[in-house]
Amino acid sequence: MSSDIDYRNHPIESILFFDIETVRKVEELQENTPLYDSFIYKMRYAEEAQRKDFNSYNVKALYAEKAALYPEFGKVACITVGKVVDGYLTLYTFKDEDEKTLLGRFNSALSKWMVDDPNLVVCGVNIKFFDLRFIFLRSVINRVPTTKGVTDLTGIKPWLVKALDLTDLFKQSSSFNSPLVCMAEAMGLPSPKSDIDGSQVSDVYYKEGKEGLERIARYCELDVLTTANVLRVFRDEPLLETPPIKKKKAIKEQPKKSAKEKQEPAKTEEVNPLDTAEDNSLVLKRIFVNNEITKEDKKELVSLIGKKRLYKKDKPILIDMIHSLSVNSDMFSKDSQKIIDEKLKAVESLINNL
């Protein structure tokens, strides 16, 4: 399956670099279950299943090793997208222990991005045969709407598929595929497998809990950065980096005040909350794109405002911050006044319901 996307000249800002990490659906396969019987039927012709000593123990071991490769027996643990903004690769990762929530947020965001930028294409390694199909089937299984032409390729003509697959680009007319780690090594790029690799993802997910999910997310983000730079090599362009982290100024210990100074009112400098929107844009973008505020989002908002809790008087500030970001961010196209007004109403409704 190929497309007519011009990898050399397609606007880099209209390419959404993309990768997913999948894990086995259950930590351990149990005998005498429909899943167990289904897996045996699926793998009955596999090389491992032809061994004479292929017993229940080996079935469970094979499931632990192979299940994450099949949407029937695995699930999505996280999805990372990357977009070039102001010369840097800005990354955002969708991760959640509840797969339906994760897929719903991703498909919703992807659909909005596709509407905002009709030229947007997704780019990754082997995404047509693995990532996009995996997301499509897991979305169907979870009753989550998919995105036609991207995560749902049913009936789409090959040249209309909005996906640039680096596997096709690398193998050209041959039948030999190369994994991302091999592409990176050949092109002199750092390996994205510095912490974990794909074979370890399921174990990390089930044995390390939330910390494991964070490790998987970082691994996925490295894959996306490497993917973007593989394309940059093909385009003979400088390599990309993620935006630098802005360090907070150290708080200096203040000298003790005299009795007279204590009586005088402290001089305070007013800070425009919109000035902090860039540093804290991830939570604001996430809230706008997903049109919901999770418990974690609320904690970040409280931290962003600089208070112990949110008060009614803080809501206009949050509305200004999120709305300003939604209409000015390079992640979104230039909107008409009508769309800007509609976004403002949506943001007001979201914040006022807090």
Q: What is the pLDDT of residues 279-331, one digit of tens each?
A: 444 566 666 666 667 777 777 776 666 656 666 766 776 776 665 655 544 44
Task: Report percent pLDDT > 70 for the chain.
Answer: 71
Residues 6+ apart with CB under 8 A from 313: none
Give the residue with greater pLDDT, 95 vs 266. Answer: 95
Task: State how beta strands 74-85 and 121-124 pair.
Answer: unpaired
DSSP 88: E
| Helix, strand, or coil (residue 239) | coil
- Read out DSSP for 283-349? HHHHHHHHT---HHHHHHHHHHHTSSS--GGGHHHHHHHHHHHHHH-TTSPPPPHHHHHHHHHHHHH
Candidate from 53-57, 148-152, 165-169 with smallest mean pLDDT? 53-57
User: What is the average pLDDT across 188-198?
Assistant: 80
Q: What is the pLDDT of residues 79-128, one digit of tens each?
A: 999 999 988 999 999 999 999 999 999 998 998 888 888 899 999 999 98
**Whole-Å CA distances, 322 to 50, 113, 255:** 58, 17, 38
Give me the residue spans of the domains in the chain. 12-25+73-234, 272-352
Distance CA 354, CA 332 (A): 25
User: What is the average pLDDT across 265-277?
Assistant: 35
Candidate from 20-29, 54-63, 165-174, 207-216 with smallest mean pLDDT? 54-63
DSSP 271: -
Candidate from 14-18, 41-45, 70-74, 143-147 with smallest mean pLDDT? 41-45
Task: Give Dmax (Cα) for the chain.
Answer: 91
| pLDDT the model gives residue 337 | 57
Distance CA 98, CA 175 (A): 37
Average of per-residue pLDDT values in the chain:
78
User: What is the average pLDDT across 239-253?
Assistant: 62
| pLDDT the model gives residue 349 | 75
Q: 12-25+73-234, what's its fold?
A: Nucleotidyltransferase; domain 5 (3.30.420)
Candidate from 38-42, 106-110, 145-149, 285-289 with smallest mean pLDDT? 285-289
Indicate whether 265 pLDDT > 60.
no
Q: How confident is the model at residue 333 (pLDDT cuts 50, 70, 90)?
A: very low
DSSP E strands, 147-227? 163-165
- Read out DSSP for 120-141? -EEEESSIIIIIHHHHHHHHHH
| pLDDT the model gives residue 251 | 37
